[in-house]
Amino acid sequence: MSTELKPGGGPLGTEEVGPPENRANSAIGHVLADIGKNGIFIALIAVLVLFAILTISPQGDSILLRPQNISNLIVQNGYILILAIGMVLVIVAGHIDLSVGSVAAFVGAISGVFAVNMGMPWFVAILLSLLVGAVVGAWQGFWIAYIGIPAFIVTLAGMLIFRGLALIVLNNSNIGNFPPEYRALGNGFIELAPIELGVRSSLDLVTLAVGALAIIGLFVQQFRTRVGRAKYGQDVEPLGFFVGKLVLISIGIGLFFYSLAAAKGIPVTLIILGVLVLIYTTVANRTVFGRHIFAIGGNRHAAELSGIKTRSVDFWLFVNMGVLAAIAGIVFTARLNVAGPQAGQGFELEAISAAFIGGAAVQGGIGTIGGAIIGGFIIGVLNNGMSILGIGSDYQQTVKGLVLLLAVAFDVYSKRRSGGSR
């Protein structure tokens, strides 16, 4: 990608630079470039295929791909994915948050006090709990942004502090019996128009409709982006390749929603997750705040000297993480219908792993929410697939650790090869 000057060429000022290598011209080239760019996406498919084959039941179908299991995958991993959204932003800014598991437990406990012990209406309890999450985030953000203590230390302390506070709030026991609306956040499903198919199965039309809408939305959005890029004279992929890719993704989405429709319908957790992903992808890519996060992660000094209020960005980043940890805590509590003192243990590690498997850079400045979500799904499929196979948690942990290590190693390797080191 160097812009070599021709020896003996005219004065340096007058030379126009030709297009780079013809990398953009063949469909095969595009596939290769895309594998490089979307390595984790392909890794997710590989893991899915692997476990789909490994979990083929005596009846001949794959247990992993059974509609009920696909539905479970979402519900079981939703809270990790919600945390991963915030975590990837924290990591992009060059920080880390070790406290999210404890904060989730703490907020879960608080919400139990509000919703069960104090008998508040469920939505008041939830709003107050989110506020508590924001305050927790502000507390940590204050030490990190304004006092200048490394996030590692502040959130390590937070991990202990909020676990302790969760125990204090719960007085070492559990709070159960949440109101049904609250519980729906974790294990509710939206199924409005099931049609019966045979004796034991049914398909929900609304779920299918949502799936169809998602596919249409994807097409519209992708085409608009493509037209926009072309209008501004940016490179676009060849049409055939572009459409082929969209069709493949659409088939994936279609199968996914078909599974949900065949199971219990759309999980409420998926709706929460979908809304959050849409909001945060926009925040990360299209808002000043989001851009500032990437600028700070890429070069903090340069960001400061460009007028970016780095402290304020750091502070609000942790407030945001606190709110997302609160949402994760509520969803988890709702799913179990219990706020327990041991809730959320290890969540921080799964969320951090998801962000890194999803391509976030340890030095900051690089990372995507989509990547973190896919990273989270890879971990989720590993967990789920290995559990179906009856592999104990001892081996599960080992495998997950190795996957994290290899994913980051691959990332470092491919970046070095493309000359992007430094």
Partner 1 sequence: MTTNILEMRNITKEFPGVKALQNVTLNVARGEVHAICGENGAGKSTLMKVLSGVYPFGTYEGDIVFENETVQLGNIRDSEAKGIVIIHQELALSPHLSIAENIFLNNEIKGRFGLIDWGKANQEAQKLLARVGLREKATTKISDIGVGKQQLVEIAKALSKEVKLLILDEPTAALNDEDSDHLLDLILSLKGQGITSIIISHKLNEIKKISDSVTVIRDGKTIETMNQEEITEDRIIKDMVGRDLEHRYPDHTPNFGEEILRVEDWTAHHPTDPTRVVVDHVNLNVRRGEIVGIAGLMGAGRTEFAMSLFGRTYGSKITGKVFKAGKEIKTRTVTEAIDNGLAYATEDRKNYGLNLIEDIKRNISMASLKKLERLGLINDGEEFTVANQYRKSMNIKAPSVLSKVGKLSGGNQQKVVLSKWIYSNPDVLILDEPTRGIDVGAKYEIYTIINRLASEGKGIIVISSELPELLGICDRIYALSEGRITGEVPIAEASPEVLIKYMTMESPR
By DSSP bridging, strand 175-176 and strand 338-339 are: antiparallel
Distance CA 334, CA 188 (A): 9
Q: What is the dihedral of CA 171, 176, 182, 184, to 10 degrees?
A: 140
Q: Which two tokens stand for residue 116?
A: 């069960």
Number of residues located near partner 1, criterion CB under 8 A: 45
Distance CA 25, CA 313 (A): 40
In the complex, the smallest distance separating the C-beta of residue 292 from partner 1, rounded to whole angstroms, is 8
Distance CA 261, CA 202 (A): 8
Binding mask 285-324 for partner 1 (x = CB under 8 A): xxxx--xx-xx--xx-xxxxxxxxx---------------
- 217 in contact with partner 1 (CB under 8 A): no
Q: According to CB under 8 A, which residues from 343 to 362 bind partner 1?
A: 361
Q: According to CB under 8 A, which residues from 28 to 87 bind partner 1?
A: none
Binder among 28, 172, 232, 239 for partner 1 (CB under 8 A):
232
Closer of 5 and 251 to partner 1 (Cβ):
5
In this structure, what DSSP letter does residue 13 have? G
Select the span of 14-22, 113-121, 270-278, 373-381 touching partner 1 (CB under 8 A): 14-22
Q: Are 84 and 372 in contact (CB under 8 A)?
A: yes
Closer of 290 and 376 to partner 1 (Cβ):
290
Give Cα separations from 194 to 208, 214, 228, 232 (angstroms).
Answer: 10, 19, 40, 46
Distance CA 102, CA 137 (A): 12
- 221 in contact with partner 1 (CB under 8 A): no
Binder among 60, 119, 198, 233 for partner 1 (CB under 8 A):
233
In the complex, the smallest distance separating the C-beta of residue 24 from partner 1, rounded to whole angstroms, is 10
Q: Are 169 and 107 in contact (CB under 8 A)?
A: no
Residue 363: partners with Cβ closer than 8 Å, 6 or more residues away: 94, 297
Binder among 8, 13, 119, 148 for partner 1 (CB under 8 A):
13
Q: Which two tokens stand for residue 72?
A: 């479970």
- 17 in contact with partner 1 (CB under 8 A): yes
Closer of 92 and 105 to partner 1 (Cβ):
92
Closer of 285 and 342 to partner 1 (Cβ):
285
Q: Closest Cα to residue 277, out of 38, 76, 89?
A: 89
Closer of 57 and 234 to partner 1 (Cβ):
234
Q: Closest Cα to residue 261, out of 180, 217, 196?
A: 196
Angle at which helices 180-187 and 268-286 pack, to 10 degrees?
Answer: 70
Q: Are 63 and 388 in contact (CB under 8 A)?
A: yes
In the complex, the smallest distance separating the C-beta of residue 21 from partner 1, rounded to whole angstroms, is 9
Binding mask 365-394 for partner 1 (x = CB under 8 A): xx----------------------------
- 279 in contact with partner 1 (CB under 8 A): no
- 3 in contact with partner 1 (CB under 8 A): yes
Interface residue list for partner 1 (CB under 8 A)? 1-5, 7, 11-13, 15, 17, 19-20, 228, 231-235, 282, 285-288, 291-292, 294-295, 298-299, 301-309, 361, 365-366, 419-420, 422
